[in-house]
Amino acid sequence: MPHNPVAPEFRAALKVLPSFDGLADETLGETRKAFIAAIRSVRVAEYPDVMVEEGRVPGPDGAPAVPVVTYRPVASHPNAPALVYIHSGGIVSGTPEVDDARCRQMVSELGLVIFSVDYRLAPEAPYPAAIEDCYAALKWAHDHAADLGIDRNRLIIGGDSAGGGLTACLALLARDRAEIKILFQLLIYPMLDDRTGTTLMPSPALGEYIWTRSANHYAWNAYLGKTPGSAGISEYAAAFRATDLTGLPPAYIGVGSLDLFLDEDLEYARRLMAAGVPTEVCVIPGAYHVFDVFIPDAPMSTQFRDSYFTALKRVISQGLPENSN
């Protein structure tokens, strides 16, 4: 890959954005605080037409209840489309707050009901804690659709970064457990392959900013409880490890051209399409990891957001056939 510099509209932010480089057990607590502080420093629009409620849903067998933040239009309608959303943070940091602005905007503009999952983090809770928490929230939303005022035929899953990776794993798990039909999977610069930065080295142009090779290695090691790249990693832990992608829901994959995850995301998209899964891909030139979170008003951040909003609008207008459940 030839040198691809940071787009001018994203350069100034690099002076103040947090970096996860050098992430370690000793620095994890401070990194978690810095991540949330950086999110809170971003000016975002208010959405008075969105109401927010915090609650808990039954957790996996033998595990604690799962905190879930529900976003709902004030002027809510019965049988609304719903999105189970999974936040970013490398599976070692973050809460639903980091994607609060994104969720509010999706609810306001798309009429979705969103259930944002506050899953357990590694290393305190390694695999399969996070994915099982996400599945528990998904199953709760599906099983209580009528009470929640949502349409189980328009049930979407989505997330960004680590949340995008967990979303891809959740799509695999839902397919294989065959309890829940998923309409669509929204994968925003997803973290899919534990080998990236360990046994597979992307171009030096990738992963220089924000989320680096060392951060990726630490996070995967914390989540897996073993060295990334080891044999026998489950596809429900790292979706890229899956050998069979047939029967998965249609997908959107978006990523920046300087993101550490560029290669794995594009290859996963190619494999989805080869397996017959309708897949839309968007690559933003000169963009590093989570560029749109920290510079939301940049023209290319708006372009990126419009691309997946358009994809969501299209799929929620269709829904699943009535007999698909």
Catalytic residues: 161, 259, 289
SS3 for 321?
Answer: coil
Contact 252, 282 (CB under 8 A): yes
- Dihedrals φ, ψ of 4, to 5°? -130, 95
Q: Which residues pair with 186 in a beta bridge?
A: 158, 252
14-18 long-range contacts, CB within 8 A, separation 24+: 14/209, 14/288, 17/209, 17/210, 17/294, 18/210
* Helix and strand counts by DSSP (H, E) for the chain: 10, 8
CB atoms near residue 160 (< 10 Å) = 29
**d(C-alpha 13, C-alpha 7), whole Å:** 11
Contact assessment for residue 86 and residue 239, using Cβ atoms and an 8 Å cutoff:
no
Residue closest to 128 by CA, chosen among 195, 219, 224: 224
Instruction: Cite the beta strand spans of 161-308 per DSSP E.
Output: 184-188, 251-256, 279-284
**What is the rounded distance in angstroms from the CA atom of residue 178 to the CA atom of residue 163?**
22
